[in-house]
Structure 1
Amino acid sequence: MSQSPAVALTRELIRCPSVTPADAGALDVVEKALKAVGFETHRVVFSDAGTPDVDNLFAKIGSGAPHLAFAGHTDVVPPGDPARWRFDPFAAEIADGRVYGRGASDMKGAVAAFAAAALGYVERHGAPKGTLSFLITGDEEGVSINGTVKLLEWARARGERFDHCIVGEPTNVSTLGDMIKIGRRGSLNGRIRVIGKQGHVAYPHRAENPAPIIAHIVAALSGHELDKGTTHFERSNLEFSTIDIGNKAVNVIPGEARAEFNVRFNDVWTHDSLKDRIRQVIRQAAPNANVEVEFPPSNAVSFITKPGAFTELVIEAVRRVTGHTPELSTTGGTSDARFIVNYCPVLEFGLTNETIHAFDENARVADIDGLCAVYARVIERYFAG
Structure 2
Amino acid sequence: MNNTADPVKLASKLIRCPSVTPEEGGALVLLQEQLEAAGFECTRVDRGGVANLYARWGARGHKRSFGFNGHTDVVPPGDAAEWTHDPFCGDVIDGILWGRGATDMKTGVAAFVAAAIDLVSETPPDGAVILAITGDEEGDAVDGTTALLDWMARQGEAMSVCLVGEPTCPNEMGEMMKIGRRGSMTAFFTATGVQGHSAYPHRAKNPVPALAQLVDRLARHRLDQGTEHFDPSTLAVTTFDTGNPANNVIPASCRATVNIRFNDTHSSTSLIEWLRSEAASVAQESGIDISMATKVSGESFVTPPGGFSDLVAAAVQRETNRVPELSTSGGTSDARFIKDHCPVVEFGLVGKTMHQVDERVEVAQIHQLKAIYRRILEDYFA
Fold shared, TM-score > 0.5 on shorter chain: yes
2:231: which partner in 1?
Answer: 234
Q: Distance in 2 between matches of 1:100 and 1:248?
A: 44
Q: Deviation per CA, 1:277-300, whole angstroms, max 9, x where unpaired?
A: 112223334433333332343342
Q: Deviations over 1:220-268 (max 9, x none)?
A: 0000111111111111111111111122222222222211111111112
Query: What TM-score do you get using the length of structure 1 for normalisation?
Result: 0.95
Counterparts of 1:100 and 1:75, CA distance in 2: 16
1:280-319 superposed matches below 5 A: 280-288=277-285, 289-319=287-317
In the TM superposition, 1:208-357 aligns within 5 A as 208-288=205-285, 289-357=287-355
- Paired AA for residue 54 in structure 2: F
Paired amino acid for 1:58: Y
Q: Measure the CA separation in 2 of the matches of 1:246 and 1:56.
A: 40
Deviations 1:292-345 (A, max 9, x none): 332343342211111110100000000000011111111111111100000001
The yes-or-no answer on 1:54 pairing with 2:55 is no
Q: Give structure 1 regions of 4+ aligned residues with deviation exceeding 6 angstroms.
A: none
Structure 1 position 3, deviation (Å): 10
Report the alpha carbon displacement of residue 156 of structure 1 after superposing the two structures with TM.
1.5
Are positions 1:28 and 2:33 aligned together? no
Q: 2:156 is matched by which residue type in structure 1?
A: G
Whole-angstrom distance in 1 between the partners of 2:152 and 2:40 = 15
Shift of 1:4: 6.7
The separation in 1 between residues aligned to 2:293 and 2:256, in whole angstroms, is: 12
Deviates more, 1:154-163 or 1:197-206: 197-206
SS at match of 2:146: helix
In structure 1, C-alpha distance between the alignment counterparts of 2:223 and 2:274, rounded to whole Å: 8
Match of 2:113 in 1: 115
For 1:378, the equivalent position in structure 2 comes to 376
Q: Which residue of 2 aligns with 1:189?
A: 186
Aligned residue for 1:297, secondary structure, equals strand
Q: Give me the TM-score of the superposition, normalised by structure 2.
A: 0.95
- The CA distance in 2 between the partners of 1:116 and 1:312, in whole Å, is 23
**1:4-63 Cα distance to aligned partner (Å, 9 max, x none):** 70111111111111111111110122111111121111112111xxxxx01111001113
1:97 matched to which residue of 2?
Answer: 95
Consecutive unaligned residues of structure 1, counting only runs of 5 or more, are 48-52
Aligned-pair identity in percent equals 49
- 2:86 and 2:202 map into 1 onto residues whose CA distance is 62
Kept after mapping to 1: 8 A contact 2:5/2:118:
no
Q: Is residue 220–residue 285 contact of structure 1 (8 Å, CA) maintained in 2?
A: no
User: What CA deviation, in whole Å up to 9, does each residue of 1:77-118 have, x standing for no partner?
Assistant: 111111111111111111231100100110011111111111
Aligned length: 377
Instruction: Give secondary structure in 2 for the equivalent of 1:320.
Output: helix
Contact kept in structure 1, 2:11 and 2:106, CA below 8 Å: yes
Distance 1:65 1:3, change over 3 A: closer
Q: CA deviation at 1:193?
A: 1.3
Contact 2:69 2:165 (8 Å CA) reproduced: yes
Contact 1:176 1:367 in 2 (8 A): yes
Question: Does the CA contact (< 8 Å) of 2:69 and 2:133 recur in 1?
Answer: yes
Q: Report the Cα distance in structure 2 between the residues aligned to 1:310 and 1:347, rounded to whole angstroms.
A: 8
Kept after mapping to 1: 8 A contact 2:230/2:329: yes
State the distance in 2 between where 1:201 and 1:147 align: 50
Once residues 282 and 321 of structure 1 are traced to their aligned partners in structure 2, the CA distance between those partners, rounded to angstroms, is 52
CA distance in 2, matches of 1:4, 1:33: 10
Moved more, 349-358 or 27-36: 27-36
Contact 2:45–2:147 under 8 Å retained in 1: no
Are 2:176 and 2:326, in contact at CA under 8 Å, matched by a contact in 1? Answer: yes
1:155 to 149, 152, 157: 152
8 A contact 2:193–2:289 mirrored in 1 = no
Task: State whether residues 238 and 258 of structure 2, in contact with CA within 8 Å, keep that contact through their aligned partners in structure 1.
Answer: yes
Q: Distance in 2 between matches of 1:233 and 1:75?
A: 29
**For 2:311 and 2:73, how far apart are their aligned partners in 1?**
29
Q: Indicate the RMSD between aligned Cα atoms, in angstroms.
A: 1.5
For structure 2, the residue ranges without an aligned partner over 5 or more in a row are: none
Query: Alpha carbons of 1:105 and 1:95: their partners in 2 closer, same or farther (altered >3 Å)?
Result: same
Task: Return the alpha-carbon distance in structure 1 between the equivalents of residues 327 and 282 of structure 2.
Answer: 35
Partner SS, residue 50 of structure 2: strand
Tell me, yes or no, if the aligned pair for 1:192 and 1:291 is still in contact at 8 Å.
no
Which AA in structure 2 matches 1:133?
I
Q: Distance in 2 between matches of 1:294 and 1:284?
A: 13
